[in-house]
Amino acid sequence: MTTDLWMLVAAAVLFFVLYYGQGFAVIKTIGAKAAAGNREHMPPMTGWRGRIDRAVRNHSDNLIVFAVLVLAAHVSGQANAATAWSAIVFFAARVIHAGCYVAGVTGLRTIAFNVGVVAMAVILVQLF
């Protein structure tokens, strides 16, 4: 498997970690019995619980675009050293972004987000 594809798998694993962390936050907020229900009247999640919820949504949005770009580069034969390094940078940026989001660190979180976007843009450029 190429570096690009390994980083796509790693980004998916990060999603699973965040997603199950979000589930833990729900259980801590409303209890296991209510979490197993429909959650129709769930109170707003605040603090780290709300931040991990938002981090999951942010990561899933970015994961979709990253997956499309990596797979398009792979299938079209455009994957190269630039896409490999960009995939590594993207993954590292997403780990930093998620950690900062959950911890409530705003400045570095924004920088990490933008670094991830630039990394995806580099992969996009390689397709043309």
pLDDT, tens digit (0-9, with 9 covering 90-100), for 50-87: 888 889 999 999 999 999 999 999 999 999 999 999 99
pLDDT of the residue at 33:
75
CA distances to 43, 72, 74, 93, 115 from 97, in Å? 26, 25, 26, 6, 10
CATH number belonging to domain 3-20+46-126: 1.20.120.550
pLDDT classification of 105: cutoffs 50, 70, 90: very high
Verdict on whether the full-model pTM lies above 0.85: yes
Cβ neighbors of 87 (< 8 A, separation 6 or more) are 3, 4, 6, 7, 8, 66, 70, 119, 123
Count the neighbouring beta carbons within 10 Å of the beta carbon of residue 38. 7
Count the neighbouring beta carbons within 10 Å of the beta carbon of residue 42. 13
Tokens of residue 93, six digits: 């940026």
In the chain, where the domains are located: 3-20+46-126
